[in-house]
Amino acid sequence: MHERGKYKMEENKQTEEAKEVKNEQTAETPKKDVASKVTEAVSQIDTDELKKNAASYWNWLVTSWKNPTEVKQTNKYAGLISLALESLFLIVGIGKYVNAIVEVASSSVASFFGDSSYESSGMGFGFYLTGFIVFFCAALAMVGIAYLFCGRDEKTNFLTFSNKVAHYSNVILIADALFILSGFVVASSSSVILLAMLLLAASWLEWNVSLVYAAQNENRMNKIYSGTLVMIANIVVLVITFRVICSISGDKLQELIQSIFSN
């Protein structure tokens, strides 16, 4: 009788241990599932395909610099990539100049009052992210307006039209790169600021010419009227865009002014 009870206790103990092992295995199953899904997702990334697409985009970009009007077929998202790069370069350059202005202003105030507490930090990541989104959306809006009213036909969709516009305007990337470099040289110098203004003006002119040229479609609208419509739309979008950017930049200058009077 005693042996039977002892045997039953051991049997119950083994059963409980088996349940614990099963519960541990069940708890580990979701972790293994997540790990397997992550591994599967990583393995599905075709690095060779990425390299191929990057090389294709670069060749298309160089071709557009050499001969902008001879549009070559490429990846359907190449135009959007160029617009994104142009927006990124532009906001980085503007941020560099705004930082220089804030730095000069804060240094002058600190020197005048003899207090280094008036120094202000530069533009943060939020400024660049917001600015990039604003410029990219503005570019999409301009391209979209030109496409809807002038460039649309049976053979052209929005992505095809954006590729055409980007092919004409990819030279802006060079101007934007020079704009950024000029800010790293001497952003507070009057001559450098003049150069920066000329680069921005050249970029704006090239952008308008590219959109007007891409929107030439006699089946939709007369060339004179389509060009006029595109120019007006671009000016409206530009004014709204720079009001937003100036508002963002003004927050930093306002922070500097508030720090002066609070001390």
Distance CA 243, CA 236 (A): 11
Residues 22-42: tens digit of each pLDDT: 555 555 555 456 556 555 655
pLDDT at position 250 over 70: no
> What is the average pLDDT score of the chain?
76
Determine if the pTM surpasses 0.85. no
What is the predicted pLDDT for the residue at 218? 54
Band (pLDDT 50/70/90 cuts) for residue 114 is: low
Amino acid sitting at position 69: T
Structure confidence by residue, pLDDT tens digits, 36-71: 655 565 556 667 777 888 888 999 999 999 998 888
Q: How far apart are CA 236 and CA 130, in angstroms?
A: 20
Confidence (pLDDT) at 50: 79
Report how far apart, in Å, the C-alpha atoms of 238 and of each of 68, 86, 142, 230 are. 24, 15, 9, 12
The one-character DSSP state at 116 is G
C-alpha to C-alpha distance for 23 and 10, rounded to whole angstroms: 20
Say yes or no to pLDDT of 220 above 70: no
How far is residue 201's CA from residue 238's CA, in Å, rounded to a whole number? Answer: 12
Instruction: Please report which confidence band the pLDDT of residue 132 belongs to, taking 50, 70 and 90 as the band edges.
Output: very high
Check residue 121 and give left, alpha or beta (phi > 0: left; psi -120 to 50: alpha): beta
CA distance 94 to 123: 10
Burial class (CB in 10 A: 0-12, 13-18, 19+), 140: middle
Rounded Cα distance, 43 and 22, in Å: 31
Give the pLDDT of residue 217: 66
Q: Could you tell me which residues are beta bridge partners of residue 153?
A: 156
Q: What is the pLDDT of residues 78-90, one digit of tens each?
A: 999 999 999 999 9
